Structure 1
Amino acid sequence: MFKKLCPILILILVVSVSLSLAQEKKSKKMFRIGVTQIVSHPALDGDAKGFEKALADAGFKEGVNVTYDRQNAQGDMSNAQTIAQKFLDAKVDMIHSIATPTSQAVVKTIKNIPVVFSSVTDPVDAGLVPKTSPSGTKSGTNVTGVSDRWPVTLQFEMYTKFVPKSKKWGTIYNAGDANSMVHIKEMREVAKKLGVELIEASISTSAETMQAAQSLAGKGVQAINITSDNTAVSAFEAIVKVCNEKKIALFAGDVDSVPRGAIAAYGLDYFLIGESAGKKAVRILKGEKPGNIPWGPAEKFSLVVSEKAAKTQGITIPPDLLKKAGKVIKE
C-alpha cells in the first residue's frame, strides 16, 4: 500500500514545492517602470516624487522590487517619441508619463503596456483616452491617470483681487502645447468677463521666455498670469527677473512657482498629483487592468502667497487674502 502511495506523495510534494517557488519568484519580481517627463521644473519634478512615494508606501521600493528608468525629453517632442519607442523596445512593465506631450507620444506608440499619465490638463482632447471616457470613467484601454486641469476662472478672479486697479494683464505660453491652450482659451473668456485686457506672448522654447516677458513689459502690462505652460514654467526665473525689475505683479497657477518668485498661486500641489497617479499604478502592479481604473482630476487646491515677492514687485497683499492663504512666505 505504501509503495503505491509513495509516488503520489512524491508528486504532491514536487507540485507543492514548485508552486511555492513560483509564488516566491512572483513575489520577488522586479518591476521595471519607465518614466518620461517633458521637461524639468519643480512642479513636474514634484509629480515624479509623489508617484514614487505612493509606490514605496505600498511596498514597491526602488532597488528591491521596482526599478525606474527616468527619461527627460528636454522640451523636445522628437525626444519624447524616441523615449516612448525605447520603453516599447525594452518591454517595461509600466510607463509613468508626466505632462501632455510625453503622454501623447507614449499613447501613440504603446498599446499593450500599462500607461499611467499625470499632469495632463485634458486627456480626452489630447487623445489619451476615448472621447466616450469623460473624467471619472474607465478608459477601457491600457491607459489611466490623473488630470491637472487648473481652476483658471477661480484663479484669475482671485488674482484680480490682489491688484484690483490692474486692467492690463499679460501671459506667456507655448502655442504648440495642447495643455496650455486649454487654459489659455479659458483665460481669454475670463478676462472678457472681468473687463480686463489680456495681452499674449507666444514662445516656442524656454530660451524665448525672457524676451517674451520683456515684450509684455514694453506693452505696459500691470500684472502677468502664467498658466500650466511647461515651457514658460521651466524658465520661470526669467519672468520673475523682468517682473521684479519693472514692478509687475506676477501670479502662477502652481504653488511650486511661489517660492520661485510669484506673488501668489491658487492651484495644485503637484506632489499630490503624482501621489494620486502612483496609487493607481499600485493597483495595476497588484493585478488590476488600467482600463478598469477610472481616470480623474486632482481635487485639492490651495492658496500660497509670498509677502517677499509682493514687496519686491511693489504690491501690498490685502489682509483678507492673507487670511485665506494656506501658506505664507514671509519677507
Structure 2
Amino acid sequence: MRFVVKRLLLGLVLIVSASVALLLSDLGRRTAVARSMPHIGLLQHASTMLLDEGTRGAIDGLAEKGFVDGKTIVINKFNAQGDISVGSSIAKEMVNSRYDLLLTMSTLSLQAVANANRNGKIVQVFGLVADPVVAGVGISRSDPLDHPRNLVGIGSFLPVQDAFRIAREMFPDLKRVGVAWNPAEANSRAFVEKARGVCQGWGIQLLEANVENSNSVLEAEDSLVARGAEALWIGGDVTVSVAADSVVLVGRRAHIPVFSITPGKPDRGTLFDYGADFYQIGKQTGELASRILRGADPTQIPVTNEIPIHFIVNTTALKDLRQQWRIPDDILRRANVVVDEAGIHNQTTAGQNKQPAAGPK
C-alpha cells in the first residue's frame, strides 16, 4: 500500500513540476514578446480640440508606418490637464520608466520632458511646438541639425502676419486689436512679439492683457474691450485657447469680431481662423517618431518648420458688428471651410493647403 502511495505522490510531483515548467516557459515567451514590442510615452499638455487633433494625428502617423497601438506598439498617453506642475511630475515619471521613445505634443510638454530628460536617457520627439528655439531646450535657429542628440521634432510657427493681413482686408480702418496671453508660455510670447512688430508696421495698436490661467481670461478680455479694442485676437496660447468660448462671448457682447491663428470648431463664433492643420502636423510628428523607432539617428535629422494651412471663415459672425467688417470674395475662395446660415461647408482649394515653412524672424 505504501509503495502504491509513493508511486502516486511521485507521479503528482512530476506532473506539477512539468506544469510549472510549461507555465514558466510560456510566461517567458510572453514576456519576450511584450518586451520586443516598442513602448512609447506620450505627453499632451491639455485637452483642447487642437491638441487632441494633433495627438490623434501622431498616433495615426505611427500606425500608417506599421506601429499600431496595442498590436505592434504600446502607447501610454498622459495629459497634464493644463497644469504645468502636473506636467513636470508626469515628465519625471515618464523618463524614469522603461520607454523606447518619448513623444510630446505642445511647447509646455516639450519643455517638461526635455528638462526631466537632460541626461539623454531616452530619445524625445516633439510636435505642435510654435518655436522650438525659444523653448530653451538647446535648439539652434541658425543650424537645423544643432540640437541635443536625443531631441528632435517639428516646429510650426503659426502665420501671425497673414492673420493680421486678412483682418485688415476685412476692415481696412482697423486700429486697435486686443490679445490676452500667458507669459509663462514661451510659444505665446513668441507669437505676441511677432504681432507687436506686425502691428507697429501697419499702424495698429496691440492692446495686451496677461493671464495666469483660463479662469482669468474672461476678465482680461473685458479689460481689453474697455480699453477700446476693435477686435480680439486669439494667438497660439494654450491657456487662452482652452477658454476660447469666453473670448467669443466678450466679443459678442461688445459687438466686435474675434479672429485667431488656432482653428477650432468652425461654428464656434470666431470671424476667421487662419492657422495650421494640427492633425497633419501631428501625423508628420508620428511619422518622424516611426523613423527613430526603426533606427534612424536623431543627430542626423534636422528640426524643421512645417505649416499645413487650415483657413476657416464664418460669415455669420458678421452679424451685429458695430463697425463695417466685410468678407471679400477672394477670401471666401481661399478658405478650406466656410460657415454661413445654411451650415458648414468644406471646400477644396488649389494651392491653399501649404505655406512655405518660414519660422520667426
State the shift of 1:149 in Å: 0.6
TM-score, reference length from structure 1: 0.87
Listed one character per residue, the Cα deviations across residues 34-56 of structure 1 (whole Å, up to 9, x for unaligned) are 11112111111111000000011
Q: Does 1:322 align with 2:332?
A: yes
Partner secondary structure for residue 285 of structure 2: helix
Counterpart residue type for residue 117 of structure 1: F
Q: Pick one of 49, 59, 69 that aligns with 1:42.
A: 49
Instruction: Determine the C-alpha separation between the residues in 2 that align with 1:312 and 1:60.
Output: 50
| Structure 2, gaps ≥5 residues long | 1-28, 342-361
**In structure 2, C-alpha distance between the alignment counterparts of 1:227 and 1:257, rounded to whole Å:** 16
After TM superposition, the score normalised by the length of structure 2 is: 0.80
Deviation track 1:259-290 (CA, whole Å, cap 9, x = no partner) reads: 32211122101001101111100101111132
**Alignment partner for residue 262 of structure 1, among 270, 275, 281?**
270
Give the aligned partner of residue 202 of structure 1: 210
Q: Give unmatched runs, 5+ long, in structure 1.
A: 1-21
Shift of 1:257: 5.3
Number of equivalenced pairs: 308
Is 1:304 the equivalent of 2:312? yes
Given residue 270 of structure 2, which amino acid in structure 1 is its aligned partner?
A
State the superposition RMSD in angstroms: 2.1
Whether the 8 Å CA contact 1:174–1:180 is kept in 2: the answer is yes
The question of 1:114 aligning with 2:134 is answered no
Q: Distance in 2 between matches of 1:204 and 1:27?
A: 43
Query: Which residue number corresponds to residue 163 of structure 1?
Result: 171
Amino acid at match of 2:121: N
CA displacement, residues 139-169 of structure 1 (integer Å, 9 cap, x when unaligned): 3511111112112112212222112222111
**% identical equivalent positions:** 31
Deviations 1:1-54 (A, max 9, x none): xxxxxxxxxxxxxxxxxxxxx9xx679832221111121111111110000000
Matching of residues 138-157 of structure 1 within 5 Å: 139=147, 141-157=149-165
Q: Distance in 2 between matches of 1:306 and 1:132?
A: 36
Q: Which residue of 2 aligns with 1:11?
A: none
Q: In 2 relative to 1, CA 132–190 (structure 1 residues): closer, same or farther, beyond 3 Å?
A: closer
- The 1-side partners of 2:66 and 2:321 are apart by 46
Query: In the alignment, residue 335 of structure 2 is paired with which amino acid?
Result: A
How far has the Cα of 1:313 moved from its partner?
Answer: 4.6
Q: Which residue of 2 aligns with 1:14?
A: none
Check conservation: 1:243, 1:313, Cα contact below 8 A.
no
Partner of residue 51, structure 1: 58
Does the residue aligned with 2:39 lie in a helix, a strand or coil? Answer: strand
